[in-house]
Structure formats: C-alpha cells, structure tokens
C-alpha cells in the first residue's frame, strides 16, 4: 500500500530532460497475489499521548501520522486513551456491533432473495459508527454516508423502520421515494442520506455553524469515506469549519477502498488522510477503527472539544472494508480474496469480545447466546417488515404520494401531472 515515488534526479543541466511520465498510484497487490499490509505502520496500543481538549492544533501534528489504539494483542485496554467506558457500556457496544452485523447479513440475504433491489454492508467497520454514537448527546446531528447504519442501531432506532425503508413498503418512512439504505431519522440525530458523495460533509459544518449562531450547545458530526475526500465538498467543509471554528467533528472512514479504487488514488502524496487537516489548522487524530474503545475515546475527545467551543476536529478511522462495496459489486475482480483476513487491525467484534472475556464480564457461551438472541430479534423485525410488503410484493407506498413533498404545497403543474397519472 506504499505509493512509489517518481524517480527524481538532480540535474544541474536542464537542457536534456528525460521525457515526463504520469504517476498513477496502484495497490501493492491484486487478485491472485498474497495480501500485503507491510506498508501499514501499526504502533503498539497505548503509546499515543492523549492531549488536553484545548490543545493547539500545531502541538499534536504527529497525531495525524500515527494510530491511537487502546486494545493490545492481549486484549487489555492500555494507555492514556483507555478508560472512557465502563464494562457495562463496553458490553452494550459489543451488543450493538453484533446487532449491526446480524442486520447486515439478513439484509444481504433479503437482497439475494429479491426482497429489495440493493444493500450495502458495513462488515468490519461496525465499531466506528457504534462507538461514535455513544459519544454524542441528544440533539446532536450526524451527517452520515450510506455506511454508518451503526449510528441508527446503536442509537436505538427501530430495526423494523430501517427494514421498511429497505423494502420500500407501505410502512416505509420515506414513502418509497429513496433507494434502500438512504435512511433519514431526525429524531435520532441522523440526517437524510444522499446518493451524492461528500455533499453532507459541508452541510454538517453549516449545521454546526447554525448551532453556534444560535448560542446552542449542540454539535454536528460529518462523515465521509476515504475515496470521497477527493470530492470538492471535502475541501469546502474544511475551509468553512476552519474559518468559523464550527462545532463539528469531521470523520473520515478510511476503509482502504472506494469501490475498486485503493485509497492511494484519493490520498495521493499525503501521508495520511488525517494530515489533510494540518493545512486548515484543524487538529487531526488518526485512530484504530477496529478498536471500539479507541474510537469511543477519540470521539468523546473531539465531541468535547466541539462542545466547549474549541472548534472542529478531523478524525481518520483506519479500518478495512471486509465486504463487497455493495450488492452490485464483486471485489474478487480487483483485490485478493483473503485480503481482509490479513488486515492487521483484525475484527472489531472479536477484539472487544476478547477484551470483555478477559475482564471476566463476558464469555464464549454468553456471546453465542446473545448472538442467537439478536438473530431472533432481527428475524422478528424482518417478519414484521415483510408483513408490510417487500419491493415486488405486498403493500406499497401510494403512487399519489410520488407527487407529494416536492414542495411544501403542491404547485399547479404537479397537480396537473398527478391527475394525468390517474391518481
């Protein structure tokens, strides 16, 4: 995963330059190759200092080039970022992540069965959204991408409502207007998802500016993937967050892949995505995205910083997209099949489970039992949702509703078109 530097020769005589060549970054391995993460430097858990929340950005520049980790190889929570959660809270985190994974698996199957047209898993990335949600307060607002379903599930949003949206049935909260998984849940601090990448990042900054304009105490969280940091709105968000010191946490989920494109294409010559914060004077942290405890500690730090009017924080979560990009994608066409097994930061559920087992508050038996319980819970929710219908059978949103909500009040031309449509 290391970008090859273009050859550079110091030529004192410039009259005879070699022909120019275009540098196109490429991953170190492709299908059929042995997975290779030798270029990913993983510092030992507990070694990165935890600065005070009012630290000046320039004092923690190194934090953008390392990885904050709490759980070590022996499943112990170590170092200055440990201790942000009680055992009971960590157990809840484990249960949240397990629920997300079971939910994803069921919905993937539902898509294969034709009950919906489309689905996207967050396999391997469950810790990030689930832990982050627990660092927020009621009234705060996430501006998520399509891969933060953990925010909803950890936030207690009803599974059946998520499924109703996925099935576009007659109980779909969005009345069948949106592609599956493009949820919206204001009540749960979850902004309406858009298919257009990066747009929500700058909207999060605006929402945070509004909170500051009104003298409120609410904060916003923006979400973006590694690939989408290349979008113009990523830059716009950082400029505005920097200028107005907006109370926003700007999250980058670096799962190494943007569909088939490895993260080096978006990152270019930057050492890390977090390092992009430096040019904007925004403090930047890089964290082990598969370490629930580290994610929570960093999220809590950044949220507190925002809430105390100290300004924005950029956080890069280092993780790996284990599953296909979506149900329409086949990763074996562009990366080794076993690459996820070789990912050095492991699996977030296994790592937190091992920690809690080592602490004596969880066990393999309880894990298996809870997994069975959550399977039953998700299945029951699915049965209830299917009772309202699926994409091609059962109850559907009304055709009449297709014309509603374009504007607050229906203008004359839409009234005419609705009549033409026979509804």
Partner 1 sequence: MTMIEAIRDAMAVAMTRDPNVVVFGEDVGYFGGVFRCTQGLQQKFGASRCFDTPINESGIVGTAIGMAAYGLRPCVEIQFADYVYPAYDQIVSEAARLRYRSNGDFTAPLTIRMPTGGGIFGGQTHSQSPEALFTHVAGLKTVVPSNPHDAKGLLIAAIEDDDPIIFLEPKRLYNGPFDGYHDRPVTPWSKHPLGEVPEGHFTVPLGQAVVRRPGTAVTVLAYGTMVHVAIAAAEATGIDAEVIDLRTLLPLDLDTIAASVTRTGRCVVVHEATLTSGFGAELAALVQETCFYSLEAPVGRVAGWDTPYPHAQEWDYFPGPARVGEALQAAMAG
Give the burial string for 16-38 (b: 16+ CB within 10 Å, else e).
Answer: eeeeeeeeebebbbeeeeebebe
Tell me: does residue 217 bind partner 1 (CB under 8 A).
no
Q: How far is the CB of 258 from partner 1 (least distance, A)?
A: 18
Tell me: does residue 177 bind partner 1 (CB under 8 A).
yes
Measured from the CB atom, the residue of 195 and 422 that comes closer to partner 1 is 195
Integer Rg of the chain from CA: 23
Query: Which of 302, 290, 219, 251 has the alpha carbon at shortest distance from 50?
Result: 302
Tell me: does residue 233 bind partner 1 (CB under 8 A).
yes
Helix (H), strand (E) at residue 265: helix 263-267
Q: How far is the CB of 200 from partner 1 (least distance, A)?
A: 8
Q: How far is the CB of 178 from partner 1 (least distance, A)?
A: 5
> Given candidates 107, 151, 153, 174, which one binds partner 1 under the rule CB under 8 A?
174
Q: How far is the CB of 377 from partner 1 (least distance, A)?
A: 25
> Given candidates 71, 185, 274, 299, which one binds partner 1 under the rule CB under 8 A?
185
Given phi > 0 = left and psi -120 to 50 = alpha, else beta, which region is 246?
beta
Tell me: does residue 213 bind partner 1 (CB under 8 A).
yes
User: What distance in Å separates the CA atoms of residue 159 and residue 85, rounded to the nearest whole number?
Assistant: 25
In the block, residue with structure tokens 């170190």: 28
Tell me: does residue 243 bind partner 1 (CB under 8 A).
yes
Measured from the CB atom, the residue of 235 and 366 that comes closer to partner 1 is 235
Tell me: does residue 253 bind partner 1 (CB under 8 A).
no
Q: How far is the CB of 328 from partner 1 (least distance, A)?
A: 20
Given phi > 0 = left and psi -120 to 50 = alpha, else beta, which region is 29?
beta
Tell me: does residue 230 bind partner 1 (CB under 8 A).
no
Both tokens assigned to 44 = 């030992």
Q: How far is the CB of 387 from partner 1 (least distance, A)?
A: 21
Q: How far is the CB of 62 from partner 1 (least distance, A)?
A: 28
> Given candidates 77, 209, 219, 314, which one binds partner 1 under the rule CB under 8 A?
209
Query: Which of 216, 219, 221 has the alpha carbon at shortest distance from 237?
Result: 221
> Given candidates 207, 223, 262, 317, which one binds partner 1 under the rule CB under 8 A?
207
Tell me: does residue 420 bind partner 1 (CB under 8 A).
no
Q: Do the beta carbons of residue 349 and residue 287 sit within 8 Å?
A: no
Tell me: does residue 192 bind partner 1 (CB under 8 A).
yes
Report DSSP letters for 374-394, one per residue.
HHHHHHHHHHHHHHH-BTTBS
Strand ranges (E), 192-290 = 220-225, 248-254, 257-258, 261-262, 284-288
Tell me: does residue 210 bind partner 1 (CB under 8 A).
yes
Using CB under 8 A as the criterion, which residues of the chain lie in contact with partner 1 when the complex forms?
141, 143, 173-175, 177-178, 182, 184-186, 191-192, 194-196, 199, 202-214, 220, 232-233, 235-237, 239-240, 243, 405-408, 411-413
């Amino acid at each position: 995963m290391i970008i090859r530097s273009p050859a550079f020769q110091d030529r004192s005589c410039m009259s005879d330059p070699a022909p120019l060549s275009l540098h196109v970054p490429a991953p170190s391995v492709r299908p059929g190759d042995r997975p290779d993460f030798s270029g990913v430097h993983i510092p030992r858990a507990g070694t990165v200092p935890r600065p005070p929340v009012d630290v000046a950005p320039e004092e923690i520049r190194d934090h953008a080039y390392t990885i904050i980790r709490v759980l070590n190889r022996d499943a112990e929570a170590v170092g200055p970022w440990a201790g942000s959660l009680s055992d009971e809270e960590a157990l809840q985190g484990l249960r949240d992540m397990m629920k997300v994974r079971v939910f994803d698996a069921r919905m993937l199957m539902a898509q294969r069965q034709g009950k919906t047209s489309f689905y996207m898993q967050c396999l391997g990335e469950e810790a990030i959204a689930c832990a982050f949600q627990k660092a927020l307060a009621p009234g705060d607002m996430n501006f998520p991408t399509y891969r933060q379903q953990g925010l909803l599930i950890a936030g207690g949003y009803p599974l059946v409502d998520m499924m109703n949206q996925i099935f576009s049935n007659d109980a779909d909260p969005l009345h069948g207007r949106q592609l599956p998984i493009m949820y919206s849940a204001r009540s749960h601090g979850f902004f309406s998802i858009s298919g257009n990448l990066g747009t929500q990042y700058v909207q999060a900054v605006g929402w945070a500016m509004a909170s500051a304009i009104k003298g409120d105490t609410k904060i916003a969280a923006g979400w973006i993937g590694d690939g989408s940091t290349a979008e113009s709105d990523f830059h716009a968000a950082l400029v505005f967050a920097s200028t107005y010191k907006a109370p926003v946490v700007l999250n980058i989920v670096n799962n190494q892949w943007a569909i088939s494109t490895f993260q080096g294409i978006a990152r270019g010559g930057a050492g890390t995505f977090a390092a992009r914060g430096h040019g904007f004077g925004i403090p930047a942290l890089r964290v082990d995205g598969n370490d629930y405890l580290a994610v929570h500690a960093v999220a809590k730090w950044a949220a507190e910083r925002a809430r105390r009017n100290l300004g924005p924080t950029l956080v890069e979560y280092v993780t790996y997209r284990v599953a296909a990009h979506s149900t329409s994608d086949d990763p074996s066409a562009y990366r080794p099949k076993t690459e996820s097994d070789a990912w050095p930061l492991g699996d977030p559920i296994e790592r937190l489970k091992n920690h809690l087992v080592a602490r004596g508050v969880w066990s393999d038996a309880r894990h298996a039992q809870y997994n069975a319980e959550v399977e039953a819970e998700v299945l029951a929710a699915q049965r209830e949702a299917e009772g309202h219908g699926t994409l091609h059978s059962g109850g559907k949103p009304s055709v009449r509703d297709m014309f509603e909500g374009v504007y607050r009040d229906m203008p004359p031309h839409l009234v005419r078109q609705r009549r033409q449509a026979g509804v």
